[in-house]
Structure formats: structure tokens, C-alpha cells
Structure 1
Amino acid sequence: MPASTSLEKAPQPLAAAPGDAAILARTPDDKAMLRAAVELTRDLGEARPAIFWPDMLASAFTGYAALAGAILATNALLAAACGVLSALAFYRALLFIHELSHIHRNALPGFRFVWNLLVGIPMLTPSFMYEGVHPLHHARTRYGTVEDPEYLPLALMKPWSLPVFLLTALLLPVALLVRSAVLVPLGAVIPPLRRLVWARASALAINPSFQRRPPEGDFARMVFWQEAGASAWAWFLLGWSSAHGWRPLLIGIAVIAMGAVLNQARTLVAHLWENEGETMTVTGQYLDSVNVPPPGWLTVLWAPVGLRYHALHHLLPSVPYHALGEAHRRLTAELGTGSTYTRSSYAGLFPLLGRLVRSTMTAR
């Protein structure tokens, strides 16, 4: 995964050292920072269609065009280059699922439907797999606890847990295919299986103890149609491949697997993962999260759609991705480089991975 500490330089962190999990969890709230975060960004909360639509559509169509190149190319090097480009483009397109879990349902008319049609269903990852799940990660009393679907104390686990965590992403495309082609249709006639699949295999979560509650109302109806679309697409892929050859599907699986591994690596450095299940203050949650601000330009490849400002996003979850850079500039100018705010800024992917590895080596 491309990253370079020499190209991605940012203020070095002053956060708690690895192993200071209890201190981090009980960090008193920096009320000045929290107040500034709200007051300085009041005008940045609108999701702008002129940015969302072109970005998502260009990412999706680039992914499809490059995937076609990877399938049709006769030169191995060209096919590989197209595959990498397709993986990066689809990865960016797919991460709009994160924005869909935050923006108001009426903010971008038609965006959710088109995204699911072009990206979510073809990748067998409809938006319901994150909507209703990701907000739990932002809940004040859930973050970093056993009730958080997106948190594990990775920094306090054994070193072997990190490569296992990373490499399981390689299995994701096949697992999604089996889910939509086999488990969901069987669940339609076997209610206990349907309940199990929903509770344990219908959310983009990393906490193995997380069980999802049954959907209700309008959300349940949306889930039904998205599940039906994903299952129909999975059966089409299998049927077409059995009749015309498996090479295109296998290349597609490899491309999606590359994006999944990249996302898993990003997840490894999205937080410091040092909380042991305690309820944390808002400032403690912020300091357990990570910003990788400019000037590093490679970050836009491995943390696109605003995810380079992940700590800031935890302060301001309703601010859309395209406004986070401006919010970061305002807060840095207002609070100064020695403030609590800048303590969540790190230099890049490799320094964060190194910190995480060192933490696992000293864990109890």
C-alpha cells in the first residue's frame, strides 16, 4: 500500500504513549476545543450536491472502465495497472457509504438510490450494511466499549492479531458473494437462518460480539429491496460466469479484495485502539482517533472521502467530507499548534502502523 513517511509529514503527536489506555479514557474534556469545533464550523454542515455527485460518479465509472481494462488487456503489466487503478477508484466510490450513514436522508435526493445501483449492490455491500450501524460507533457512551460495533482494543492484543485482522479482508468478496447468493435466499424460507444472518452477517463491523437488531419500518422496507437487488446480482454473476467463463469474476474478486485490504489497513490506523472498554470522554475519544492532515498527498489514496480527518470527524460527525479540510484549517488557526486539537495529528500510514505494532509487543 503506497505510503511514505518522507512524503507525508505532519505535526508529530503528543497523545498518550502506548499502554496509557486508562489515562486516555479518563482525559478531561477540553471544553475550549469542543466549543470552538461547534462555533467555527456552523456554516460547514451542508452536503453539497455539486461535489458529492461528480466525485462519486467519476470514482465509480473510473472503477468500471479500469476493471474492463484489467479483464480485456492481453499484456499482464497493463492488466495489473488497470486492476490497481480499478481497486483505488472502487475503494473511493465504496467509501461514500460512510457519508450515507451520516447525511440527512433528504439532503441529497436520489444519491442513496444511485449509489446503491452503481456501487453498493454491484459490490454486494448495500448501504444498509453501514446505515444504522456506524452511528453506534459515534454514540457518546458506546465508543470503545463492548457495545461499539467498530472497535477492538487492537493495541492491547497480541502481535499476531494484526496480520490476521488485515488478511481476513482478502476473504471479504467471496464472503459477500456467499451471503447474497446463498444465505439470504435460504433465509427467506428458513426464518432462524434469516435472523442469524441479519444479526451476525449484515453489518460492516469488526467487533465479533456485535449483534444487529432487526430492522423496522421504512428501514426494513429499504433493506428488503437492497437485499433482493444484491441477491439477484450475485445470481447473475454466478450464472453468467458458469456459462461464459470465470475469469472476469475472478478478476473482479481480486480487485475488490485489494480495496478491502486497503480499507482494513486504513482501519488499523483510524484509531489508536488503546481503550479497554471504559466509557470515554469526548476528548478521550478524539485523542484515541487519528488525523493525517496535509501536506501528505498519498493519504488521499488510502484515506479518501475525508477519512484523513478521522479524529475531526469524531468531533463533528455531521460535517460532510468535503468541508473537513476547511474545518481543520480553522481549528488549527484558532487553537494553535500546541493545543489538544493538534495532538491527534500524525505523520502518515507507516508511523501509525509502527506505533500499533509496538503497542501489541508491550501489551500484557
Structure 2
Amino acid sequence: MTAQNVIETPFSPLAGPATAAPGPRAGIPDDRELLRAAVELTRDLTTARAAIYWPDMLVSAALGYGGVAGAILFTHPPAAILCAVVGVLGLYRAMLFIHELTHIHRDALPGFRFGWNLLVGIPLLTPSFMYEGVHTLHHARTRYGTVEDPEYLPLALMKPWTLPLFVVTALLLPVALLIRSAVLVPLGTVVPPLRRLVWARISALSINPAFRRRPPEGEFARMVFWQELGASIWAITLIASVFAFGLRPLLIALVIASGAALLNQIRTLVAHLWENEGETMTVTAQYLDSVNVPPPALLAPLWAPVGLRYHALHHLLPSMPYHSLAEAHRRLSAHIGGRDTYAKASYPGLFPLVARLARSTMGGR
């Protein structure tokens, strides 16, 4: 669920793109050499290592919650602001493990899904069901960049004002999640039409307003029930805490959560080039519409943590654990060289990517 669902898109009858021309990558054929090399050179890197996942997630969560506590308890502004920054970065990194949960085999890291939901997903009101079964559609060969892709908007072809709106609306996400879990989900248990609406429209971490989620079934439906129950109890507890501790602690926590959501939205803004207007794309075309920000970009681990600085490579190897992506990138770069398809998805940093996207919305590439 994202607040940017108010943005009109070429996927909606309400508005058209800034230009009617299709994206420039839809007709790119697959680079068979690249696809073969990506698989063959990385066969030994596919095991998710619990000794990396667990400490990384736990330390990130501890820093995040410690930052929130410090921002609430410290009255000296510089100390409180420093704690808030630590809180934003820690919670942001911990939250992004939801991306890993959608790709790793459910038996690869025993207990990790439960532990992450208990410590991060439910406290942040974004349990893993909000991404599981959704993000994999983004990687589907025939869905990427189309109206059926929940995580794609042709932002490069849209109006210039959509970019700041896309970013700023992320600030509303924590409040929206609080209302969803504390009010809408409980009401939905007694009002079936509302329950169906909440599930279809505001139960997925998606950015495509045309996306409608199908009802959960089987074991997944049972998981959704327990995760929704936990999130609703926690959301109601947060609201009730105002009567015991006043409004200030909750407001500070929401501001920090909004900061993490804003940072994630900025990362999302540059995760792709967003140049496809609904056509089916080859795997290579999807790769070239995605972004790597490899070293020496120094700040990338902060705004694109948990391996997301290698987002284009991730689209070639979706099941590759985040801790293996740097080595996979090194091997592919050394084997293929810097003048072919693989190198074309690498960019120097955040600001050049934002500038490129802004130019695209104004008619230039």
C-alpha cells in the first residue's frame, strides 16, 4: 500500500503520459551470453547464510529502535536529531529484509521469516504478507513494466510534477498504515465489502494504482490472518499509548518511520529508469531498465542497503542472496568487461539518476 496511488498514470484512464512514444527498451532482444554468464559464474553464491542474515537484521533493528528511544528520551535537540537519524537508517535497513523474504526459499533460513515479522514487520505495520506474493509479480517475465506489474510506473514518461508528488506522499505512509491496521482491518471483520476492498487495494506494498490483489488462499491465507491480527493489536496499542504517555512519543516514532519511508521512496525512484509504457520486455530489456550503483559510489549502502545497490543484477539473478551480489558483480564485470550490455546498467550515484529521470519527464533523455 502506498500513498502515491493518487498519481494519475498511463495505466489509468484518468491521464496519459507526457509523451505517447513507447519506452526505448521494449524491443531489445535478450543477450544470451550475458544471461548464461550470470548463471554459470555465480552457481556457488546462491546459498543464503544465516550467519549474515540474522546479525545484520538484529543489529539494524536494535539501532533503529535505539534511535527511536533516544529521540524520545533526549531533550537536547542535537542529541535527539542524531538519534532520529540513526533510527531512520536502522529501521530502513531492517525493513528492507522484507525484500529478501520474497526471494529466498522458505526453508533456507529457519525461523527468519517469523523473527523478522515479530521484530520488524509487525512493529512497523508492514508484515511480510504485504510483499510476499506481490513482489514476485514484478519479476515475472511477461508482467514487468506492464499494467499487471504492481511495482512499476512509467515515471520517465509522465508529467514533471509526478516526481515530487511520488516522493513526498511517502511521508503519509506510516499514518496510513496505522489507520489501516487499527481501524480498517478490524472493521473489515464485520463488514465483508470493506474487508475485500482493504485487501484488494491497500494490502500490498505496490506503486501501481491499477493493481488489484487477489484474495489469499490456503496456507498463505492462514499466515495473513495471524500477521494481520498481530499488526492490528500493535496498532491499537500504539494509539492507546497516547493516553498513558501523551502524544509526543507516538509523533516522534511516526516522524522517524516517515523518514525511513521517504528514504525508501527515493531509492525506489532510481531503482529503474521507468522508460517502459506497458509493453512486454525481454529479461535483458528489464535489466537495462534497472539500475546498479556499484563502488566507488560511497553513499549507496546507506540509501540502497541490503544489496539493493545492485538492483539491475538482482533482476538477472532474483534468488541471489543480498550478501552475494557484490561478488557476483565483481565476477561478471571481470569476465565480460566494461563495454557490453552488463556495464550499461551501472550508474555513478543517486543524484545523476534523479537528474536523468527529471530530464526524461521534461521531454529529454
Shorter chain as normaliser: what TM range? over 0.9
Distance 1:350 1:107 in 2: 36
TM-superposed CA distance for 1:209, in Å, is: 0.5
Cα displacement string for residues 61-103 of structure 1 (whole angstroms, at most 9, x for unaligned residues): 1111111110000101110110011000000000000000001
Distance 2:20 2:356 in 1: 11
Cα displacement string for residues 253-282 of structure 1 (whole angstroms, at most 9, x for unaligned residues): 000000101000000000000001000011
TM-superposed CA distance for 1:22, in Å, is: 4.0
- Corresponding residue for residue 88 of structure 1: 89
1:64 aligns with 2:54: no
AA partner of residue 25 (structure 1)? A
AA partner of residue 59 (structure 2)? A
TM-superposed CA distance for 1:20, in Å, is: 8.1
- Corresponding residue for residue 268 of structure 1: 269
CA RMSD of aligned residues (A): 1.3
AA partner of residue 136 (structure 2)? P
- Corresponding residue for residue 303 of structure 1: 304
AA partner of residue 271 (structure 2)? A
Distance 1:28 1:100 in 2: 31
Q: Which moved more, 1:20-29 or 1:223-232?
A: 20-29
Residues 90/79 of structure 1: CA separation in 2 closer, same or farther (3 Å cut): same
1:198 aligns with 2:161: no
* SS of match in other structure, 2:204: coil
Q: Does the CA contact (< 8 Å) of 2:24 and 2:276 recur in 1?
A: no
Q: Does the CA contact (< 8 Å) of 1:19 and 1:359 recur in 2?
A: no
**Structure 1 alignment gaps of length 5 or more:** 1-17
Question: TM-score w.r.t. structure 1 length?
Answer: 0.94
- Corresponding residue for residue 11 of structure 2: none
TM-superposed CA distance for 1:243, in Å, is: 2.6
AA partner of residue 239 (structure 1)? A
TM-superposed CA distance for 1:240, in Å, is: 1.3
AA partner of residue 348 (structure 1)? G
* SS of match in other structure, 1:255: helix
Q: Does the CA contact (< 8 Å) of 2:174 and 2:257 recur in 1?
A: yes
TM-superposed CA distance for 1:289, in Å, is: 0.2
- Corresponding residue for residue 135 of structure 2: 134
TM-superposed CA distance for 1:19, in Å, is: 9.9
- Corresponding residue for residue 346 of structure 2: 345
**Structure 2 alignment gaps of length 5 or more:** 1-18
Distance 1:259 1:23 in 2: 33
- Corresponding residue for residue 74 of structure 1: 75
AA partner of residue 80 (structure 2)? A
Residues 295/43 of structure 1: CA separation in 2 closer, same or farther (3 Å cut): same
Q: Does the CA contact (< 8 Å) of 1:66 and 1:86 recur in 2?
A: yes
Q: Does the CA contact (< 8 Å) of 1:20 and 1:274 recur in 2?
A: no
* SS of match in other structure, 1:189: coil
Structure 1 runs, 4 residues or longer, greater than 2 Å off: 18-23
Distance 2:37 2:293 in 1: 20
Distance 1:127 1:22 in 2: 32
Q: Does the CA contact (< 8 Å) of 2:29 and 2:284 recur in 1?
A: yes
> Aligned residues: percent identity?
72
Q: Does the CA contact (< 8 Å) of 2:48 and 2:104 recur in 1?
A: yes
> When the two structures are aligned, how many residues end up with a matched partner?
347
Question: TM-score w.r.t. structure 2 length?
Answer: 0.93
- Corresponding residue for residue 46 of structure 1: 47
